[in-house]
A and B are shown apart, each in its own frame.
Chain A
C-alpha cells in the first residue's frame, strides 16, 4: 500500500447533530485503484462521514486533503470539481426527467443544452463500462437496478474518479449485485478509488481490498480484507464478540395454521399482482418469502391481514382443534383480534404503521386504543409496552415522549417490529424487518422471531437478504412476478437456486 498515493485523507473530522456526535475525530484514507469497504453499525456515522466528503454536510471540525492538498468542500459542486461522486442509498433522481436529463442535471457546461450530444456521451460511457441504459427513458419507468445504473453513469459523466456508494446492494437481486461488483472491479482496475458502505459481511469479503470500521462515530481501525475475517470485523463494529450464527431450532409440533389457496389479487390499475398463489404456513415454523421487490410480497401479506381486496381464492385460518375460519371478507380488526399481526417495514420506514409525530407510547396505543373504559383511553398499558420494547430491543431514544420521527431509522424500525411482536400473535407477518438495520439490531430481531417460533407462532418472514432467509427460514416460498416459483426447504436450498427461482418461474429448470 505504501507506494500508492492517498486520493483522500480525512483528518480529525467531527460533526454533531444537536447533542449527538455523529463523527468524532475520524481519520480515513482512500486510495486509488482500491475498493474500500466502510463498515459500521447503524448510526455509527458512515453515511454522515461520506456526506461530508460529497458536500451534503459541512464538517464542524477537521481537515480534508485531496491528492495531498487541503480542500474545503462546502457544497456538492465543490465535491464534483474535486472528482468526488457519491451514489446515495436513496437515489437522487428526478422521476419525471429522462436518464440523460438527470445525468446532466447541475452541470455547468458551456453553450446551449444539447440533449442529443448528451445522449451520445452517455452511450459512450455505457459501452466503456458495460452498462445498459437508455438515455431517453424516463426514470419513473425504470427498475431499481436501472436507476442505480443511472446514478453511477451520472457520477462517471462528471468525470469522478473517487466513487462512494452507500449500501448499493440493499435493493438488488444476487444477479444484479454480481453485475454491479463486476463494474466496480472494472473501475478499480482503471485506477479509480471506490468506497462502498455496506452491512453485508460476505460482500465485504468478496469485493473489497481494504476495510475501515467506524463505531459510534469513531474510527476503530482499518486493515487489508485478506488479513481479516467476518468475525473479526463484526467484533470491531460492535465493540465486543458476537456470535454470527442465526439459530434455527427444529419446529416443534408444526400444524397447519394459515392455508392459502388459489389467491389472485389485482391492483387498482388492473395489473395482476398475485396469480393463483397457494401455500400453507404452519405453527412453530418460519416460512420465508423470497422474491425481487414488487413481486407481490406486499399484496400477499396485506391480503392475509385483510387490507387488500382479492379477486379469487381463499385464506383459511386453522384453529388448534382443526376447525377452519375463512379470513377473506373479514375486516382487518377482527383478523387482528384472531392474533394475526402484520409488521411491514416500507422503504421510508414511517410510511406504514407508525405516526412520525407521535411518541413511542402513542404509537403503541395505535394497537391498543380500544382498551380503557368508555370514552377514555388506557394510557398505562401502552406506556408499559413502550418501556418493554425500549428495554428489550435497546431502542436508543432520549425518552418515551420523543416523537418517533426524531429517532434514527434503525430505532424507528425497532419500535415498529417490537410493537407487533409484543402483541403476542398467533401468526406474525413481517416484511423487511431488518431493512437497513445493523448486525447487532438484526440479530436481536432474529432472536425475537425465533422466540415467537418457539412459542408456536406461525411466522411469515418476507426478506431481502437471501443469506439470512436461508439461515433463518424452515421453508422458503419464492415468488416471481406474482406467481409461486416454488417452495424449497430452507436447510437444503442454495442461494443460487433461490436466486434463479426469483428471476424465472421454477428456476428455469421446468422451461
Chain B
C-alpha cells in the first residue's frame, strides 16, 4: 500500500533544496547569466553554514538565536563570494559562462569536501561525518502543535522554517519578475542587453545583483539540506546531484519560480519514488526511477520547443556576455 501521508512530507523535504536552487538560478538566468556553478555554490553554501555551526557548537552553550543566525549568515556570505567570483569572471572579464560555471561547480564540490574532511579530522570521530545535532535541532524545529493535527499537520506543518522560507522566496521572486519595475528591467537585461542599455539601465549592476542574490538563495538550499533534511550530519558528497536537478528544474518550470514550488515537490517525489514502490525491485530498477526527473525535464523541453511560444523560451541572450561597443 502506497503511504501517501508519509510520502508527501518526504517529497517536499527532497524538493526544498531544489526549490532554493531553481529560484536562485531562475533569477540569475533572467539577467542573462547561465550559472552552471549552482551545484558548486549550493555545496559552498552548505559547508559555510556547517563551518559556522561547527565553530559555534565548539564554544559550548548553544543559544537558539545565534545557533540559527551564525550558520545562516556564514552560508549567505559563502555563496555571495561564489556569486561575486562568477560575476567578476563572466560580467567584468567577459569569460565564457559555461566554462566558468562548470569550473565553479568543480571548485565548489572540492571546496566542500576539503573543509568537510578537515572538520571530520578535527572531531576525530570514527565515522566519516560530522553531526551538528544541537544547531540542527533549531533548524528543523516545526510548530509545536503540528503533531496533534494528524495527516494535515504532517503534510503541511511538519517542516523547519527554511522550508517555508523557500516557498515565500519563490513566490516573491515570481511577483518581482512579473509585476515590478525591477523585474521588468531584469527581464529586459536578460533578453536584450543592448536594448536595456540604450534604455539607460546599468547592465553590469543588474547582472551582478541578480546573480549574487540568486547565488545566496541557492546557497540556502545547501544549508537546508545539511541542517534540516540531513539533521545536521555532513558527510562528503552526500548532497549528490541535487544541484543539477535544480538546474533541470529551471528548464522544467520554463523560468517561472512560482511554478517551481509545486514542480520542486514533484521532482522531490520522483527522486524518492523508488523508496515507496513495492519492495523486491532490483537495484537497477531503482536507479531507473531516480532518472525520472531528468526524463520529465526532457519531455517538457520537447513540448516547449515544439509549441515554440516566445514567452516559454529561455532569455534570449542567456549565456552571452555583453559588451557595449562590440561591433
A residues contacting B by CB (< 8 A) are 17, 54-57, 75-77, 80, 86, 88, 92-97, 101-102, 104-107, 109, 112-113, 138, 140
Say yes or no: A106 contacts B196, CB within 8 Å: yes
Bits for B180-221, please: 1 = Cβ < 8 Å to A, else 0: 110011011001101111111110000000000000000000
Given A80-B200, A94-B188, 10 additional A-B pairs, CB 8 A: A75-B200, A76-B199, A92-B195, A96-B310, A97-B187, A102-B195, A105-B185, A109-B181, A112-B181, A113-B180
A97 touches B201 (CB 8 A): no
Task: Establish whether residues B195 and A76, one from each chain, have CB atoms under 8 Å apart when the complex forms.
Answer: no
Which secondary structure characterizes the binding site on chain B?
helix
CB-based contact B310/A106 at 8 Å: no
User: Which 7 pairs across A and B sit closest by C-beta, in order of nearness?
Assistant: A106-B199, A77-B200, A92-B195, A106-B200, A76-B200, A92-B198, A113-B181
The reply to whether A95 and B192 contact each other, CB–CB distance below 8 Å, is yes
The complex places the Cα of A104 from the Cα of B324 at a distance, in Å, of 21
Rounded to whole Å, the gap between the CB of B113 and the closest CB of chain A is 40
Check B241 for interface membership: any CB of A closer than 8 A. no
Contact for A94 among B179, B180, B191, CB less than 8 A: B191
Question: B29 CB to closest chain A CB, in angstroms?
Answer: 14
Residue of A56, A93, A104, A105 with most partner-chain B CB within 10 A: A105
Return chain B residues, CB-CB under 8 Å to A138.
310
Q: Mark B291-327, 1 if CB is under 8 A from A, else 0.
A: 0000000000000000000110100100000001101
- Contact A97–B188 (Cβ < 8 Å): yes
Report the bound CA distance from A109 to B185 in whole Å: 13
CB neighbours of B316 from chain A (8 A): 95-96
Query: In the complex, which residues of chain B have a beta carbon less than 8 angstroms from the beta carbon of A140?
Result: 310
Which residues of chain B come closer than 8 Å to A55, judged between CB atoms?
200
- CA of A112 to CA of B181 in the docked complex: distance in angstroms? 7
Which of B180, B181, B194 has most chain A Cβ within 10 Å? B181
Q: Are A104 and B184 closer than 8 Å at their CB atoms? A: yes
CB of A56 within 8 A of CB of B198, answer yes
Tally of contact residues, B, Cβ under 8 A: 25
Most buried by B among A54, A57, A95, A109: A95
Q: Which of B187, B188, B201: most chain A Cβ within 10 A?
A: B188
A101 pairs with B184, CB closer than 8 A: yes
**With a CB–CB cut-off of 8 A, which chain A residues contact B180?**
112-113
Closest to A80 in B: B200
Chain B residues near A88 (CB, 8 Å)? 198
The smallest C-beta distance from B281 to any residue of chain A, in angstroms, reads: 44
Q: List 28 A-B contacts (CB under 8 A).
A: A75-B200, A76-B200, A86-B198, A92-B199, A93-B192, A93-B195, A94-B191, A94-B195, A94-B196, A95-B191, A96-B310, A96-B311, A96-B313, A96-B316, A97-B191, A101-B184, A104-B181, A104-B184, A105-B188, A105-B195, A105-B196, A105-B199, A105-B201, A106-B196, A106-B201, A109-B181, A113-B179, A140-B310
Q: In the bound complex, do residue B194 and residue A92 qualify as a contact, i.e. CB atoms below 8 Å apart?
A: yes
Which residues of chain B come closer than 8 Å to A102, judged between CB atoms?
195
Q: Answer whether A94 and B192 are a contact pair too, CB < 8 Å, given A105-B185, A106-B185.
A: yes
Task: Give the CA-CA distance A107 to B200 in the complex, in Å.
Answer: 8
- In the bound complex, residues from chain B placing their C-beta under 8 Å from that of A113 are 179-181, 184
Among B181, B185, B199, B310, the one with the most A-chain Cβ atoms within 10 Å of its Cβ is: B199
CB distance from B22 to the nearest CB of A (A): 20
Whole-angstrom distance between the Cβ of B31 and the nearest chain A Cβ: 13
CB contacts (< 8 Å) of B196 on chain A: these are: 94, 105-106
With a cutoff of 8 Å between Cβ atoms, the chain B residues found around residue A96 in the complex are 187, 191, 310-311, 313, 316
Q: Please measure, in the bound complex, the distance between the C-alpha atom of A75 and the C-alpha atom of B197, giving whole angstroms.
A: 9
A218 to chain B, nearest CB (A): 21
A106: chain B residues within 8 A (beta carbon): 185, 188, 196, 199-201
Please, which residues of chain A bring their CB within 8 A of the CB of B179? 113
Chain B's closest residue to A86 (CB) is: B198
Most A CB within 10 A of own CB, among B180, B184, B201, B311? B184
- CA of A362 to CA of B142, assembled, Å: 68
**Least Cβ–Cβ distance between B187 and chain A, in angstroms:** 7
Residue of A whose beta carbon sits closest to that of B190 = A94
Q: Which residues of A contact B197 (CB under 8 A)?
A: 56, 76
Produce 1/0 per residue, B137-169, CB < 8 A to A: 000000000000000000000000000000000
Chain B residues within an 8 Å CB radius of A97: 184, 187-188, 191
Q: Are B200 and A94 in contact (CB under 8 A)?
A: no
Docked complex Cα distance between A104 and B182 (Å): 12
Q: How far is the CA of A505 from the CA of B163 in the complex (A)?
A: 64
> In the bound complex, what is the Cα–Cα distance between A401 and B261 (angstroms)?
54
Cα A101 to Cα B181 with chains together (Å): 9
Indicate the member of A86, A88, A92 with the most B CB atoms within 10 Å: A92
A97 CB to closest chain B CB (Å) equals 7
Separation of A94 and B196 alpha carbons in the complex (Å): 8
Residues of the B chain whose Cβ atoms lie less than 8 Å from the Cβ of A107: 181
* A112 CA / B191 CA spacing, docked (Å): 22
The distance from the CB of A270 to the nearest CB of chain B, in whole angstroms, is 13
* B179, closest chain A residue (CB): A113
How far apart are A38's CB and chain B's nearest CB, in angstroms?
19
- Chain A residues with CB under 8 A of B199: 76, 92, 105-106
Closest to A113 in B: B181
Nearest opposing residue in chain A for B315, CB measure: A96
Complex CA–CA separation, A140 to B192 (angstroms): 13
Complex Cα distance, B196 from A101, in Å, reads 12
- Closest beta carbon of chain B to A158's beta carbon, Å: 9
Give the CA-CA distance A306 to B57 in the complex, in Å.
74
A121–B108 Cα distance when bound, in Å, is 50
**What are the residues of chain B within 8 A of A77 when measuring CB–CB?**
200
